[in-house]
Structure 1
Amino acid sequence: MPKDDDENPAPTAAVPIAEACAALSSGKSRATHGALEVSHGANATVYAYPLGSGQFAASDGARRELSDLVVKVGRWRSAKSFDMEVRMQRRAAMAGCAPLLFHAACQPVAAQSSASRGAVFGTIAMERLTQPTLYRWLHQVTREQRRKSGASNVGAWSISREALHEPVVKAWEREAKRLQAALVRAGVKHGDWHERNLVFDVPAARALTAVGRTPSPLEHHALRELIMQAIAQGPSGGAARMLVIDFEGSKPLGGMVDRFFASMCIDRHIVDPDEEPPSPLSRQASSNKRSPASGKGSAHGTSRTVTVAVRAPVRVSASAT
């Protein structure tokens, strides 16, 4: 005897990726879908679907969970700059250095002034990463060291010199350099290279890190331990990976000469997202005594290049992470 339709429901149709991307482009639509903000910068904000939102159909026909998707929404100064960012991230993703990019679209916006003439409103849909950033993870390593040694909470939001010498930290630092070299080989010059744009991804924790979840304190602790243990295995462990994000301002490297000089400069100039403090992994030959360039940076804007050696401890505010 055939089962009732209620016992054998038809599979829910997957939303086309273009539609899933467009649905997060306006505040009213985001509220309808329960989307939440993941991060924001000077010119763009990243949103994500909550767990259980359904599925979307990628351009290759594969079905994926909407909660595994993030959409970057914002304004770009021109269609050319938008297309360049998309092109550079696609190229980096093909090299295994960046999140997969599923869809991108932009449209002109009415100019409010001569400076905004040619600006576009754009959306970029890409793979969601579980976090944390390399920057935040270094803080967690420092706090764990202090806890084990019985140190006080003074300076709890600093990155210690001892943390930077941990074998697992050195291993991930080498992985960051490998990613930078891979970008050069792929012909990509990243426009904002710093530790907050290097993000860990732990596939086993993806569903557990979906936006909108409110885990109990016990679940939160277990999730944190799952992610920290995966990262502690290092790049060769296979449980965690590191990827590069935010390709605004990135440019293509030209011929072999450009790539040669870019490869020679790997890790010599690391961009810091804030005026203070210097990036804890920023290094340069001790013979170079130049002062840091002035200027204000952001995760989605222009940053400065710091040329100072490592200092410890490096103090930051809790809100910075």
Structure 2
Amino acid sequence: MPAKWLELPYAAEASPGVWVVAVPIPDNPLRYVLVYAVASGDGVVLVDAGWGAAVSFEALREGLTAGGIGLDAVRGVVVTHLHPDHYGLAGRLHEETGCWVAMHPADAGLIDARYRRREEMRRLNRAWLVAAGAPAAEVEDTAESMAVLATMSVVDPDVLLEHGDNVPLTGRTLRAVHTPGHTPGHLCLYDPDAGILFSGDHLLPRITPNIGYHTQSDPDPLADYLASLRATLDYGEPLVLPGHENRFRGLADRVAALTAHHEERLDHVEALVRAGARTAWEVCHSVEWAVPRGPRYVQRSALAEAYAHLIHLETRNRLRRSGTAPQIWTVAT
């Protein structure tokens, strides 16, 4: 049985004691990120914050107000991962409410390089693009597109959540589940009493999260992601509250579908290398599932995903690489 959708309006009670607000992401095909307000004593703790734009902040405020929740009731924000649609408003919420901010240490350790040391990040991105085999004419513009949002307020977490740690909530258990892959420190949150898994971008009901190899990824992010998918099976069949789209049931079926999806992509990437594709750039521009088009950030995400599949095929001893600028991929013998 495929994952069953449970439709939600713009702002609603997702489950007893949990309010959800769809916070817009301007000029992005994802359209919105889902921010959850979890009851905690006389206030709430948010799961994710939303994109760091004024229109997003006002939508969050209005959505919380619709649930009878004022900003002054926000006691904390748990950021599932450091991407700007989930982390972007954490700094402003911290400034305006004094709330604490929590993350996994692996993502917390990436904040400074990603959001503060922007020229260093451009340099690393240029080197990554060269290793991927990007043409010289593409390197500078694509590296620039990877420099992220100077407009948002950057905040370091007050609370670091390791796997198995409990979120500081009053009257409810919410346990951190480390699910690396989409980012090194991606967190899901599990409520064992209510049977709820807040899944961030790890598990989405219809689309697949981008699993990319880039300057801030682990050495084999796809291996991490596939292992993290298997690990979520330990939590049974909870109500899944994801970061995008809508809540759903059918976790085991979704895990099986996502695993099969990546196995098919691995086979396809290997076939392209056998047919003559030699760099990550060439594979990216040959794959049926991610021919890059549209904005630069879409193109570099497609490249990072193709690269991740090449890396994982190397881990499985199906491909090998040589050289550095660019790296050349061939079939393992």
TM-score by length of 2: 0.26
Q: Which has the higher contact order (CA 8 A, sep 6+)?
A: 1
TM-score normalised over the length of structure 1: 0.26
Bigger Rg, structure 1 or 2: 1
